[in-house]
């Protein structure tokens, strides 16, 4: 047994590299994640911190052969964006796989809805990171199609549910955009004294 094999799998690998250098990739092509990969991606989200383990989220996967169907649904039901199906098909074609990440909060005496939305958000982030870990690139989008009530109901969401993101996943060149100017860890941190 070598030293590394005593570690939890969770702390092996290059997680800090993925976390510290992650960028979104808007230009995504085939191949997208296979069904086995999708399983791995969803599994990663089963392990996010989750108060009372309510698991308040779910995912609808739109594979490449269903993207036009999604675009047609958008076009039939959207009330807040143009219904131009050609344009919507272009949007849906931005990646070979779209994971529609849905928050499904429930009433709970100890876990407010806000906490359950955090769990749904970190579940989506975990899926994006897992996709990166498998060698795919991704882009998290929302926009009006994530909030249009008629679209949400056509997608089968209940009144309690909401979309936290459309995760566009596929293959892409390593994103070599430099990290943007922004806050540093020192800007974000203070110590209680």
Ligand X SMILES: Cc1cc2nc3c(=O)[nH]c(=O)nc-3n(C[C@H](O)[C@H](O)[C@H](O)COP(=O)(O)O)c2cc1C
Q: What is the rounded CA–CA span in Å between residue 48 and residue 35?
A: 21
* φ, ψ at 101 (rounded to 5°): -95, 120
Q: What is the DSSP string of 178-192?
A: PPPS---HHHH----
Residue 73, phi-psi category: left (phi > 0), alpha (psi -120 to 50), beta (remainder): alpha
Nearer to ligand X, 23 or 89 (CB): 23
Check: CB of residue 139 under 8 Å from CB of residue 25. Answer: yes
Check: CB of residue 76 under 8 Å from CB of residue 145. Answer: no
Nearer to ligand X, 13 or 143 (CB): 143
Return the residue matching tokens 């020192």. Answer: 186
Q: How far is the CB of 193 from ligand X (least distance, A)?
A: 32
Nearer to ligand X, 10 or 152 (CB): 152
Q: How far is the CB of 142 from ligand X (least distance, A)?
A: 4
Q: What is the rounded CA–CA span in Å between residue 150 and residue 136?
A: 31
Q: How far is the CB of 155 from ligand X (least distance, A)?
A: 17
Q: How far is the CB of 146 from ligand X (least distance, A)?
A: 7
Nearer to ligand X, 38 or 118 (CB): 118
Nearer to ligand X, 36 or 176 (CB): 176
Q: How far is the CB of 147 from ligand X (least distance, A)?
A: 10
Binding residues for ligand X, rule: CB under 6 A, are: 23-24, 139-143, 165
* φ, ψ at 168 (rounded to 5°): -90, 120
* Distance separating the N- and C-terminal Cα atoms of the chain: 44
């Amino acid at each position: 047994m070598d030293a590394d094999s005593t570690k939890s799998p969770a702390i092996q690998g290059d997680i800090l590299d993925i976390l510290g250098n992650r960028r979104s990739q808007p230009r995504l092509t085939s191949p997208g994640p296979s069904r086995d990969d999708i399983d791995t991606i969803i599994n990663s989200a089963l392990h996010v911190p989750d108060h009372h383990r309510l698991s308040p989220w779910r995912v609808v996967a739109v594979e490449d052969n269903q993207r036009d169907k999604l675009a047609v649904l958008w076009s039939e039901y959207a009330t807040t964006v143009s219904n131009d199906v050609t344009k919507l098909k272009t949007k849906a074609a931005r990646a070979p796989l779209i994971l529609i990440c849905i928050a499904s909060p429930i009433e709970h005496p100890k876990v407010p809805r806000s906490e359950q939305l955090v769990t749904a958000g970190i579940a989506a982030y975990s899926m994006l990171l897992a996709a990166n870990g498998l060698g795919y690139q991704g882009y998290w989008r929302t926009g009006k199609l994530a909030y249009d009530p008629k679209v949400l109901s056509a997608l089968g969401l209940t009144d309690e549910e909401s979309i936290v993101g459309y995760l566009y996943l596929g293959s892409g060149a390593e994103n070599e955009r430099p990290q943007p100017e922004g806050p540093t860890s020192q800007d974000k941190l203070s110590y209680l004294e």
